[in-house]
Structure 1
Amino acid sequence: MLHHVVRRGRVVGALLLASGCSSGGGEGPPDVQPGPDASIPDAGPDAQPDGPVEPGCVEFAMPTDADCAAPIDGVLPVDLRCTGLYGDFDKRELACGVLEYKPAMELWSDGAEKRRFVSIPKGQRVDVSNPDSFVYPEGTQFWKEFRVHGAGGASRLGETRLLRKTAAGWVYTSYVWSEDERQAIQMQNDFGVPDLHGTGHAVPTRDQCKECHVGRVDFVLGWDALMLGPGAEGVTRESLVALGVIEDGSALALSIPGDDVERQALGYLHANCGVSCHNDHPEAAAQETGLYLRLEASELGSVAATDAVRTGINKRPAENAKYEGLTNPDPANWYAIRPGDPARSLLVARQELRDFEGQMPRIGTRKVDNAGVQLVTSWILGMKEGTGYPPPGP
């Protein structure tokens, strides 16, 4: 069993309205694992969350018939019921202070249906002074629920991932739902679940979770000025100001530049490639490739100013690029992005690749996102000199 399981104690409440998810699994990486004094303070079995009570919501109460105890070195509960997500677990009614949200741009997960939930400690604020790198208060929790599809096509609860910020850093795990959907328990080891209940859905390993999340300064994927902008549901940058969760949202009024095709393609690459891996953070998995696809606040004045254009167009792939599985494995054939020519753009080829190391996204997917491929292909086909793009490289 994973080593971080919470002591019976209080669950942090939230300053968010009643309800309207790059990824968890495994305990925190070594540099943020909680120390012996980092567990949540002990409280009695009737401990209550300290978030506000909203009319019609269900207050969370620590269950007495669930495994909410912890081993000596743990901080996360064995049972999902103990995390504070649901006020009424059997009815799947969210606890007071937990808010459901949907970002404007979503990470591809092989078509799985996802729901995302968040709680912020009462009276605390998210630091958004750097619109590219939010910083969250201790006690913040994010959950992401996956519904997966079996052979018959019917959807069912598969897993719920949890991130919790402690004094020592972020800890995280995945809760696997039983086949009858009556219970969700921490996965039994750090090695993930390669084929959950025969659905083809893979619960990520501890190392896979770390690989994605360490590309963010404060670990969380799916929350930034753009993902909470137009198209977001449940939680938006405007609602966070109204709720007092952020002090000033003026710096967050950002938008993706370009026409419809450019905006959609850049947003897709931001969410699926740039936020976690393809950026200049020293620990980002794809930092050394030099191909950066995250949209930075200071570079949104024009399409030409974005990292995707500056580091991708007519750039040869890095020396350590992988070509196995491609129809043409000759490195001389490829550019990261070749204007007007998706067939020689490695970005597209890797979107279409599966079952080889060079596939993109590299982990968490076994199926090609055809809609995403079409978005990026359309963008590249529209890169003409008359619209501000350079001519294609030789």
Structure 2
Amino acid sequence: MGCSSGGGDPPPGGQAGGPDVSMPEVDAGPDDSGEPACVEYAMPTDVDCAAPLDGVLPVDLRCTGLYGDFDKRELACGVLEYKPAVELWSDGAAKRRFVSIPKGQRVDVSNPDAFVYPEGTQFWKEFRVKGADGALRLGETRLLRKMAAGWVYTSYVWSEDERQAIQMQNDFGVPDLYGTGHMVPTRDQCKECHVGRADFVLGWDALMLGPGAEGVTRESLVALGVIEDASPLALTIPGDEVERQALGYLHANCGVSCHNDLPESAAHDTGLYLRLEASELGSVAATDAVRTGMNKRPAENAKYEGLKNPDPANWYDIRPGDPARSLLVARQELRGFEGQMPRIGTRQVDDTGLQLVTRWIQGMTEPNYPPPGP
């Protein structure tokens, strides 16, 4: 998606580079190992798979290599479905995620906080959203593809009969897709989140592929030939069950994209960092969330509009034992104002995530945590 380990931002429309749309060769995938069967991908002949003149990503989702049999929605060989241990909140949309790594290539996991992906890597994320009748329907599929010049990206919007998915043809997103309330993000919104990761991909790291992950895990990456050794990735979130759940939730929903120390991240200047770093997992007290949030007054540019108490003197980022004066909680509860968290891509409060963080702060008592600030 535009930011990359090389090359500049692609031109508008989520595309970059020249006209080459050739697909990288990928591993053949499951055969007689007991895994689900796959269908060898073949470029369709009944649709135009040529890239637009200003980019490299095809207009039709059928041309991206996701499905071997599009009509049956059967995955192409080499495409793996996965589910991270902790999922990003998307207003209750049902999501499926897929990845393909070029055959013979490996992901560099030498830094467990920042994987580096080989050229030709592709990630897709599919959203099923509720219509007026309450039934789930295909709404959007997002694509990331790593090119020589960096990441390119786009969103494919499904037709109402779910027979076709066509690339969004402008940078403006879709604020309310088919009346479902689902927002297809703008190009800038995609970039705002993804530049918070050094190599752009948000949902893959040692923790999100750890215990609770499905389909692809940090251990299975070795068997798949994607990495050589999983031992550097054997990381554990510290604390008791309440602490682990809250820290994991904040990591996946806030830390990996925005609230971290990468200068490009959207919330870097807040000084509140919620990403779990491999070197800081020895104890809860060592995590960024505690070190940068506990009894800390919010940054000068903090937003208070829409809060029940807009007085900055009332708030701490995290006040031990007191979620009612912890801005972290108040922003989770807020919607419709600039200070809401997550800031974009949601109109509904994640009640489960809110409860996890509230329980954690309520349980912050001495001697494990400092007394609350005045």
Equivalent of 1:62 in 20, 40, 43 = 43
CA RMSD of aligned residues (A): 1.7
2:3 is equivalent to residue 31 of structure 1: no
Distance verdict in 2 for CA 1:53–1:272, change over 3 Å: closer
- Cα 1:78–1:383 change in 2 (3 A) is same
Q: Quote the Cα distance in structure 1 between the aligned partners of 2:3 and 2:48.
A: 21
Identity in percent: 84
From 328, 338, 348, the counterpart of 1:347: 328
What is the one-letter code of the residue matched to 1:271? Answer: A
Find the aligned partners of 2:24 and 2:188 in 1 and give their Cα distance: 33
TM-score normalised by length of structure 1? 0.90
Deviation per CA, 1:74-99, whole angstroms, max 9, x where unpaired?
10010000000000000000000100
Q: Deviations over 1:235-282 (max 9, x none)?
A: 000000122211121110000000000000000000000000000001
Q: Which residue of 2 aligns with 1:305?
A: 286
Deviation at 1:28, TM superposition (A): 6.4
Structure 2 residue matching 1:81: 3-state secondary structure = helix
Alignment-derived partner of residue 34 in structure 2: none
User: Which of 243, 249, 258 is 2:230 aligned to?
Assistant: 249
SS at match of 1:380: helix
Query: Structure 1 CA distance, aligned partners of 2:99 and 2:348?
Result: 28
Task: Kindly report which structure 2 residues correspond to 1:13-162, keeping only aligned pairs within 5 A, or say none.
Answer: 31-33=8-10, 39-40=19-20, 49-52=25-28, 54-55=30-31, 56-162=37-143
Q: Are the structure 2 counterparts of residues 253 and 48 from structure 1 closer, same or farther at C-alpha, using a change threshold of 3 Å? A: closer
Q: Secondary structure at the match of 2:155?
A: strand
Give, in whole Å, the separation in 2 of the partners of 1:139 and 1:208: 23
Q: How far is 1:151 from its partner?
A: 1.7
**Cα drift, residue 37 of structure 1:** 6.0
For the 8 Å contact 1:49–1:60, the answer to whether it is kept is: no
Q: Closer, same or farther in 2 for the Cα pair 1:349/1:36, shift >3 Å?
A: closer
Give the aligned partner of residue 314 of structure 2.
333
Would the aligned equivalents of 1:38 and 1:168 in 2 still touch at CA under 8 Å? Answer: no
Which one-letter code corresponds to 1:325 in the other structure?
G
C-alpha contact 1:32 1:168 (8 A) present in aligned 2: no
1:53 CA displacement: 5.4
| Alpha-carbon shift at residue 188 of structure 1 (Å) | 2.1
Q: Distance in 2 between matches of 1:313 and 1:41?
A: 49
SS at match of 2:349: coil
**Given that residues 156 and 168 in structure 2 are in contact (C-alpha distance below 8 angstroms), is that contact kept between their aligned partners in structure 1?**
yes
Distance 1:330 1:28 in 2: 37
Aligned residue pairs, count: 364
The answer as to whether partners of 2:17 and 2:55 remain within 8 angstroms in 1 is: no
Identify the match of residue 290 of structure 1 among 271, 274, 299. 271
1:12 aligns to what?
A: none
- State the AA in 1 paired with 2:61: L
1:240 aligns with 2:221: yes
Question: Gapped runs of 5+ residues in structure 2?
Answer: 32-36
> CA 1:49 to 1:130, structure 2 compared with 1: closer, same or farther past 3 Å?
closer
Q: How far apart are the structure 2 equivalents of 1:65 and 1:216?
A: 38
Output one character per residue of 1:131-190: Cα deviation in whole Å (capped at 9) or x when no partner.
Answer: 000000000000000000012111000000000000000000000000000000001211
Secondary structure of the residue aligned to 1:62 is coil
Unaligned 5+ segments in structure 1 are: 1-23
Q: 1:40 Cα deviation (Å)?
A: 3.2
Displacement of 1:36 after TM fit? 8.0
Pairwise CA distance, 1:50: 4.4
> Match of 1:51, as an amino acid?
D
- Partner SS, residue 208 of structure 2: coil
Q: Aligned AA for 1:33?
A: P
Q: Alpha-carbon deviation of 1:60?
A: 0.4
Write the distance in 1 (CA, Å) between the matches of 2:115 and 2:270: 25
Alignment of 1:192-271 (within 5 A): 192-271=173-252
Q: Is residue 169 of structure 1 aligned with residue 185 of structure 2?
A: no
- Rounded Cα–Cα distance in structure 1 between residues aligned with 2:8 and 2:289: 30
After TM superposition, give the deviation of residue 51 of structure 1 in Å: 2.8
Aligned match of 1:389: 369
Contact preservation (8 Å) 1:48, 1:60 = no
| Aligned equivalents of 1:95, 1:267: Cα separation in 2 | 32
Other structure's SS at 2:8 match: helix
| Distance verdict in 2 for CA 1:37–1:323, change over 3 Å | closer
Residue 315, structure 1, aligned to residue 296, structure 2 = yes
